[in-house]
Amino acid sequence: MSRRDPVTATAAPPATGAPAASVRSRPTLAWGLLAAGAVLVAVALLSVAVGSKSIPIGTVFDALRHYDPTVDDHVVIRDLRVPRTLLGLVVGASLGLAGALIQALTRNPLADPGILGINEGAGVGVLVAIGILGLTSPWAYVWFAFAGAAVSATLVYAVGARGREGASPVRLVLTGIAFTYVLHAIGRAIMLTDTGTFDRWRNWMVGSLASADPGVIVGVLPFVAAGVLIGLALTPSLNALALGEEAGQALGVHRGRTRALGAVAVTLLCGAATAAAGPIAFVGLMVPYAARMITGPDYRWLVPYSLVLAPILLLGADVVGRVLARPSEVGVGVVTAVVGAPLLIALVRRRGKLPRL
């Protein structure tokens, strides 16, 4: 086995605990990824065309090709639904990749980005911006949400890395849970001091794409792009570490550096997504788990599949939330939680047991 190509070792199912049936050939996986991309395009178009207000499909295409700001339906399409769809693509891809990375780093197939306290850190950042500094604009407090997520993840990693074992998966999980509860208490203390703070904060906390702001999307896009690049670059190292700590180190993978870079990528991705759309449950948990059923344990394929499948789930859930409660709507965070729980149970029952990473 070549020292420069450790990822090929993941093709052996016994080494990673993946069932033999989950390993697919490269052409099959490539065609599957192309098919998922086509579905994503279709769902994105559906997100633009379908909403709480019924608009004829001809008007939708006309608004995209020949925008007229004096036509109300054109304004709905171009100024509301298109930014909303773009935000769903960015947030979905971020959560999907963050979930795949955190499951790899913790070697826990049921872990999600919130396990490092990122969601709670972002929530506390928003509460500080709203309750203490009196900020009301999403563009203003999105940076506090991102900073809170980054500080939380940094503290979790710094505390979890202390000691001889360093930042082991178990230590990171336990430290993340402890910080989550501490941040939860701090956030509630800030929130309960002012009812106005609670009213403004709860609109963000439910998790929604409704208030998509093009400025916010542009603002978080560089952080998302950096997180995606880091995540893609880590796939060979993650494959090697999936063989075991000692095997990964023997193959030349630096465990500490891989975990640190993975934590940075998760912070950038989940922090930006949470800051822009609020905490959205189950996407980062369910999508990588489902993708692993298709790709097996090879992160060279699992990561791209997670990047594509997560926006499909998020945009699909957003469309469902808009249609179910016409003329109002249900937040996408509520829909993903309601749909995600039984679907995840069905996936686990179908597999018969949880996969080992």
The pLDDT assigned to 4 comes to 43
* Total-model pTM: 0.83
CB 237 within 8 A of CB 245: no
The dihedrals phi and psi of 248, each to the nearest 5 degrees, come to -60, -40
The confidence score (pLDDT) of residue 280 equals 87
pLDDT of residue 341: 74
Per-residue pLDDT, 211: 75
Residue 327 confidence (pLDDT): 79
Class of domain 72-351: mainly alpha
Would you state the pLDDT for residue 165? 65
The whole-number pLDDT of residue 271 equals 83
Query: CA end-to-end span of the chain, whole Å?
Result: 21
Coil, strand, or helix at residue 282? coil
What is the per-residue pLDDT for 314?
Answer: 95
Q: What is the DSSP string of 213-249?
A: -HHHHHHHHHHHHHHHHHHHHTHHHHHHHTT-HHHHH
Q: Are 116 and 176 in contact (CB under 8 A)?
A: yes
User: Which residue ranges make up each domain of the chain?
Assistant: 72-351
Mean pLDDT, contiguous 10-residue spans, the chain (357 residues):
41 38 72 96 94 87 89 90 94 94 82 78 85 76 82 84 69 83 86 73 76 84 94 90 69 78 88 85 87 89 95 94 84 84 70 54
Q: With the CA atoms of 241, 157, 103 and 117 taken in that order, what torsion angle do they form, in degrees rounded to the nearest 10?
A: 180
Please say whether the dihedral angle defined by the alpha carbons of residues 322, 337, 116 and 228, taken in this order, is positive or negative.
negative
Going by the DSSP 8-state scheme, the letter that residue 164 receives in this structure is S
Neighbours of 159 (CB within 10 A): 17
DSSP 49-94: H-SSS---HHHHHHHHHS--TTSHHHHIIIIIIHHHHHHHHHHHHH
Q: Give the model's pLDDT for residue 194.
A: 73
pLDDT at 348: 64
* Residue 104 token pair: 């790899």
Torsion of CA 232, 237, 238, 242, to 10 degrees: 160
DSSP, collapsed to helix, strand or coil, labels residue 10 as helix
356: left (phi over 0), alpha (psi -120 to 50) or beta: beta
By the 10 Å C-beta count (0-12 exposed, 13-18 middle, 19+ buried), 60 is classed as buried
| Helix, strand, coil % in the chain, rounded to nearest 5 | 75, 0, 25
